[in-house]
Structures are given as C-alpha cells and as structure tokens.
Amino acid sequence: MAHGRIKRLQSAALSQPLRESEPEICQLCYRPIPPALREAHHLIPKSRGGTTTVPMHRVCHKQIHALFTETELARHYPTSEALRAHPEMARFIHWVQDKPSDFNPPIRRSRGKGQFLLLLCSCVIANAVAQRANCVHHDLADVSRFHEDLRVALVAHASRGTRHDHVTG
C-alpha cells in the first residue's frame, strides 16, 4: 500500500492507461489542452474541503481565480456549468474560443478582488494632498473632506460594475 501523497499520485498515474492519442478537453472552454498548459481546477477550493478537480487550460484557470474569491467559488460556482453561466466568464470564454490551444496571455486581477488596495491608494493620495495642503496653508478640514470624497468615489467605482478588460494582450 502506498503511503504519502506523492506515492498515491504515482500509483494512481501508473494504474491509468496512457491516452496519448486523446488530448484532454478543458472543462471551461472545451478546447484541447496541450500537456504543458494543463492545470487541475478544484471545483470547491481545497481550503474549503474540496477534492474534485477538472482539467483546464492555464489561461482559463487563471481567469477563474482572477474573478472569484475562494468563498465565491465554494458557495456559488462549485461546477463548471455554474462558472460558464457567469456573465464575465461567458464573455471570457467567447473571447478565448478562437485562440489556439497553446495561447497563454497574462491575466489581471478583477476589480472586485483587492478592494483593500483601492482604499490604500486613496489614503496614500489623501496623505500626499494633505502634505501639500500644509505647505500652502489650506484648511485641514478641506483635505479631510477631499479624502472622504475620494474614498467614497473609489469604492463606488469598484462596486459599480464598470467594465475593464481583465485579459491583456
């Protein structure tokens, strides 16, 4: 009996017949996956107790994790069908359909992820403005109002659903 994760994976790989003539199909975009760009996506993240994986292109897998948090994946998108039904993923799938199987562009994080970064940026900007305001003798209350207005605007922009391309290239 095999002990340890590596031994279990090795024995599982040896017990399966080799299928070199049949390329694996991405469970998101349904295109063939080259071996060098094959990744396994946990339908429910491992951190949430998931064990089931499906094969995907690296670009498709990256796009999923750029758009969704692990909590969102576990609660709302535990199947390939649910992922494909999301409007942003449907748009991505439509875009990637005509690309070659070995296409692997860089992926940018979604605006929905990392809202803390937006707030941090607003604080840095407000701090710079405050330092400048002190130099030109503006009222600090004006700077404080500016900071709050900027923070509200950034949060509103992030939650409004303004469309940005998440894939470069």
Q: List, for residues 36-61, the tens digit of each pLDDT value.
A: 899 999 999 999 898 999 999 999 99
Q: How far are the Cα atoms of 22, 108, 142 from residue 119, in angstroms, in the given order?
A: 49, 19, 19
Longest dimension (CA), the chain: 77
What pLDDT does residue 41 have? 94
CA atoms of 58 and 36, how far apart (whole Å): 9
Task: Output phi, psi for 108, to 5 deg.
Answer: -100, 150
**How many CA atoms within 13 Å lie on the side-chain side of 146?**
16
What pLDDT does residue 140 have? 64
Task: Output phi, psi for 133, to 5 deg.
Answer: -60, -35
What pLDDT does residue 78 have? 93
Per-domain residue ranges of the chain = 19-96, 115-160
Q: Is there a contact between 54 and 83 (Cβ–Cβ < 8 Å)?
A: no
DSSP tag of 102: T
How large is the C-alpha radius of gyration of the chain? 22
Stated pTM of the model: 0.55
What pLDDT does residue 24 have? 92
DSSP tag of 49: T
CA atoms of 11 and 143, how far apart (whole Å): 65
What pLDDT does residue 114 have? 47
pLDDT under 50: residue ranges of the chain = 1-2, 18, 114, 116-117, 162-169
What pLDDT does residue 167 have? 42
The CATH class of the 19-96 domain is mainly alpha
